A and B are shown apart, each in its own frame.
Chain A
Amino acid sequence: MNFDYNEEQQLLADSVRRFLAKDYDFEARRKIVASEHGWSPKAWSTFAEMGLTGLAFPAEHGGFGGGAVDLMGVMEAFGEALVVEPYLATLMGGLAVARSPLARTILPAVIEGKMKLAFAHTEKGARYDLGVVRTQARKSAEGWLLEGEKAGVVGAPAADRLVVSAAASDGIGLFLAENPAAKPYRTMDEMRAADPVFRGAKAERLEGGMELVEALTDLATALVCAEAVGAMKFACDTTLEYLKTRRQFGVPIGTFQALQHRMVDMFIAQEQARSMACLACSKVDQSTDPKERARAVSAAKIKIADSARHVSQESVQLHGGMGMSEELKVSHSFRRLTAIAGQFGDADHHLARFATL
């Protein structure tokens, strides 16, 4: 039993934190979010230099073969800084490609930071049901052709290629396709997404189907749990600081017991969330049984969804009117935490799933 990161993991997390503190503070982030494409090529190339873009990919393609626990510290740091670059989207796309021969050409470019990917799976009305895939894949003389519409694909506007799930005659498969130019939009948490449409689009089939979609989604869910812990840490730290400095009735508002107890409950929620993120990431790495993995991930996601909601709502409330202000980072962590609570399934979805496992 050991809850620490190993030396390598710690060094990496520390250097990511240092970079973000220096070049990705709230002001810098604001400029990135307001920029045309909504992500920073400079930050992305630094991620590549630091090895982050290769962290999760197999060594044979130039990656580091890292698992969820190796990524945890990075995701926490990203959560704390509210990083908006399509890191998770690229990671999911890259891992979807990793088993296929195409990996030889795609992954080295991803690892070098020259290519970004996104994972186009969700469709309108599917909500969190991974099994709903109406997009069709048809084999023709020219190869596979895709027909259908994906929706809410985070990271799609920046992606050079998309990994697309589609129903083929032999079941749901994954395909690598060119990124059709779909109109980008801003998500509630200030990332960029799009609803790509495929009309007879050429695609190359990848190894793996539904089982891989589920495994990748579980991994990504565990990682957003870790990211949520970072965002909650920021929300708690900044609220605590506010309670100590904001004065009303002639005293710091942190002297009021009504607020102290609420702050303590936020702190406890954050610690409980951290525990569950540890569980989810370890199980994703260690479980050979998909059911055991899914059970831990759903349990963690339920806890994280509940604590993300609790911590984010309280962080705004305890800031009073300032918590509502666009000018304070706490209103941005609120948005990210709200999005994470629903990302890859909200608490109700995972409660239903947990009960079947």
Chain B
Amino acid sequence: MDLNYSAEEAAFREDVRAWLASNLPQDLKQKVASYAHLSKDDLLRWHRILAKQGWVAPAWPKEWGGTGWNVVQRYIFEEELGYAGAPPLIPFGLTMCAAVLLRFGTESQKRRFLPRIYDGDDFWCQGYSEPGSGSDLASLKTKAVRKGDEYIVNGQKIWTTLAHYADWIFCLVRTDPSVERRQEGISFILIDMKTHGITVRPLMLMDGAHEVNEVFFDDVRVPAENLVHEEGKGWTVAKYLLGYERMNTGRIGESKRQLAALQEFGSTLSKNDLRFRDRLSRLEIELMALEITNLRFLDRMRRTGQPPGADVSMLKIKGTEIQQGITELMLQAADPAASDAFTEAVRKKYLSMRKTTIYAGSNEIQRNIIAKMTLGL
């Protein structure tokens, strides 16, 4: 047993850190540190800086622009991005759609979409949730009816993150309402957001930010060639995606940076209030435990060459609890009488972070997954 990184891994981390120190634009770093709004341009600027360096999609196969790094190097890289305070890389194209295309896409689909995702030419969003289909995703109703070499799509998606920035949306749609097993009637298709009949309506959240949307489809005509995998196999695709690349759901690097900021921001209170000090210590220790648990998963993956089991869901549960815990203590540490911009941002951040235990499979769904798949209940 040895919890230390190897000399090569430590050197790799130093390389990444040094590169970030000179290539992460100060204004973006500052925006992230102050919880400021990141515009589409901000997100794309950082995306393109990484793309130019060849680091925007480390997990892809080398032929499509991947770096060839192993799981530990990828983890270190993501940790360093978070720790440095880089803007997030929006996962819908780079991580999600790409993973699906690489696994299920045709050669021409890969050639058509992957380079544009890599270069940041297409901004993607994810069309999964519907008003009546949240955790029970397989009950989704948005229909796609095949007519000649087109699908006609009608229905509505909701909570669609950054749909107002997006050029494309990947959607789960119902292509066959008649099958008994409802999962078998679902297909995975790619839709150009500029297509006639698509309406995007903002959904304002309690922090006042416009991040998610409703997306309406009204007789939207989608070329049949935009179907990924076979018709009726959309659920297989969705399940593959759920199990893919969940190793950074813990967001260790980002939480480390935010915890350090919290320790600084709350240092006075921490000295004067032992109850606060102890809450802060417990949070720090939770993060230590999560980091080591995450490394144990990585070590297992590296040695077995197998993707993580369903128990990896615990990283999402603990990681999001910690992210929320940090913003909660930030809120507590803030002077109740203060109304400066940063304090206001701290309060909004607390509001905003409640989403983390709900999105990407609520923490209750993650517990269902562990109960069923890992514990056999």
Contact = CB atoms under 8 A, between A and B. Distances in A.
Contacts of B299: 1-4
B2 A267 contact: no
B371 A263 contact: yes
B377 A255 contact: yes
Contacts of B72: 1
A1 B4 contact: yes
B interface residue count range (under 10 / 10 to 19 / 20 to 34 / 35 or more)? 35 or more
B6 A1 contact: yes
B376 interface: yes
A299 B371 contact: no
Nearest to B279: A351
Nearest to A259: B377
A268 B314 contact: yes
B299 to A, nearest CB: 5
Given A244-B377, A272-B289, A276-B288, A302 B2 contact: no
Nearest to A5: B1
A278 B4 CA distance: 12
Contact of B3 (A240, A255, A265, A282): A282
A72 B1 CA distance: 10
Contacts of A278: 1, 3, 292, 296
A99 interface: no
Contact of A282 (B1, B6, B286, B293): B1
Given A254-B377, A351-B281, A275 B292 contact: yes
B317 interface: yes
Contacts of B6: 1
Interface stretch (B57-65, B168-176, B362-370): B362-370
A2 B289 contact: no
B278 A351 contact: yes
Contacts of B1: 2-6, 9, 69, 72, 278, 281-282
B367 A260 contact: yes
B34 interface: no
Contacts of A271: 293, 311, 314
Contacts of B288: 276, 279, 299, 303
Contacts of B296: 3, 274-275, 278
Given A5-B1, A261-B364, A303-B285, A268 B290 contact: no
Given A3-B299, A243-B377, A272 B293 contact: yes
Nearest to B314: A268
A354 interface: yes
A355 interface: yes
Contacts of B314: 267-268, 271
Contacts of B376: 244
The 6 A-B residue pairs with the shortest CB-CB distance in the complex, in nearest-first order: A275-B292, A260-B371, A272-B289, A264-B367, A275-B293, A254-B377
Given A1-B295, A2-B2, A267-B375, 6 more contacts: A2-B1, A263-B375, A264-B371, A267-B314, A286-B4, A351-B278
